[in-house]
């Protein structure tokens, strides 16, 4: 009794730490999951070198909600760099929740499935706000705006843009974010939220990028380089250290050449508008 699923990563329009309101969009990097049910009554993550508590908790919550006494072994494989701000945790949680449902031959509304991953992230202490914006951008695809305090989806729409990612070598975990300093920029986050609700994604994410880089002491040079190269919008993704830019295809070479001077990885992708899916058909 095995289940399979796939979910895509995401990048930030508006980080929710300052005001609990956030926005993110899906990207074309994905995580796949396999959940194998057994009679052990215990859930074990088989992901060498990675803290498996989140994915184990996701399976436990799904099994509990559906009244199942099965145990499970859970495995994930990911194209998403861990602890860089590209929603690796939210994406893994989504994939594992859906793979568990697939193993049980059960269906669930995708928003409710994403909220199980949010609950698991709170339970194991890997999130500050629950990151519903990240979870829903990964689960539903497209670009979303959420109120993480009310656990509400406020807006979703599809977006056709190329995306460039700058992924530094170092890791930064969300749980170590300076929340007090982040909340000092709440007035700017409110402006970015208003822009996002109007669908002005480029200006919203650029304002978010400069505000959070200032609050967290991270470089603004990647933002300026992206704007100089003609990006529509650019931001620190999550709490970093990765940066993400929305831009047209004709601007890709200029930005890639500029960002490569900074070191780390530069990744070309696109906004992902497709929802996460369970089964082997991904």
**Can you give the CATH number for the domain in which 22 is found?**
3.30.230.120
| Local confidence pLDDT in tens for the 282 residues of the chain | 899 999 999 999 999 999 999 999 999 999 999 999 999 999 999 988 778 999 999 999 999 999 999 999 999 999 998 878 899 999 999 999 999 999 999 999 999 999 999 999 999 988 888 899 999 999 999 999 999 999 999 999 999 999 999 999 877 665 556 788 889 999 999 999 999 999 999 999 999 999 999 999 999 999 999 999 999 999 999 988 999 999 999 999 999 999 999 999 999 999 999 999 998 865
Three-state SS string over the chain comes to: CEEEEEEEEEEEEECCCCCCEEEEEEEEEEEEEEEEEECCCCEEECCCCCCCHHHHHHHHHHHHHCCCCCEEEEEEEECCCCCCCCCHHHHHHHHHHHHHHHHHCCCCCHHHHHHHHHHHHHHHCCCCCCCHHHHHHHHHCCEEEEECCCCEEEEEECCCCEEEEEECCCCCCHHHCCHHHHHCCHHHHHHHHHHHHCCCHHHHHHHHHHHHHHHHCCCCHHHHHHHHCCCCEEEECCCCCCEEEEECHHHHHHHHHHHHCCCCEEEEEEECCCCCEECCCC
pTM of this prediction? 0.95
Per the CB < 8 A criterion, the answer to whether 74 and 98 are in contact is no
C-beta of residue 109 within 8 angstroms of C-beta of residue 58: no
Tally of structural domains, the chain:
1
- Gap between the Cα atoms of 16 and 25, Å rounded: 14
Provide the domain limits for residue 196: 1-282
């Amino acid at each position: 009794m095995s289940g399979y699923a796939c979910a895509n990563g995401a990048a930030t329009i508006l980080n929710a730490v300052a005001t609990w309101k956030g926005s993110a969009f899906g990207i074309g990097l994905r995580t796949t999951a396999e959940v194998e049910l057994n009679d052990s009554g215990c859930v074990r993550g088989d992901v060498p070198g990675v803290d498996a508590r989140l994915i184990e908790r996701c399976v436990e919550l799904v099994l509990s909600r559906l009244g199942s006494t099965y145990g499970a072994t859970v495995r994930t494989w990911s194209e998403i760099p861990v602890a860089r701000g590209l929603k690796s945790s939210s994406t893994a949680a989504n994939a594992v929740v859906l793979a568990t449902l697939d193993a049980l031959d059960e269906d669930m509304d995708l928003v409710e499935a994403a909220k199980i991953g949010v609950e698991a992230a709170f339970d194991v202490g890997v999130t500050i706000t629950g990151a519903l914006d990240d979870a829903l951008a990964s689960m539903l695809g497209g670009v979303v705006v959420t109120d993480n305090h009310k656990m509400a989806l406020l807006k979703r729409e599809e977006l056709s843009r190329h995306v460039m990612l700058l992924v530094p070598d170092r890791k930064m975990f969300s749980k170590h974010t300076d929340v007090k300093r982040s909340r000092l920029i709440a007035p700017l986050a409110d402006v970015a939220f208003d822009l996002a609700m109007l669908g002005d994604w480029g200006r919203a994410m650029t304002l978010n990028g400069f505000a959070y880089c200032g609050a967290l002491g991270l470089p603004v040079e990647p933002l300026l380089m992206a704007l100089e190269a003609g990006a529509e919008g650019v931001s620190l993704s999550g709490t970093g250290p990765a940066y993400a830019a929305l831009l047209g295809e004709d601007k890709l070479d200029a930005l890639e050449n500029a960002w490569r001077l900074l070191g780390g990885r530069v990744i070309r992708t696109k906004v992902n508008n497709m929802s996460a899916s369970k089964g082997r058909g991904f």
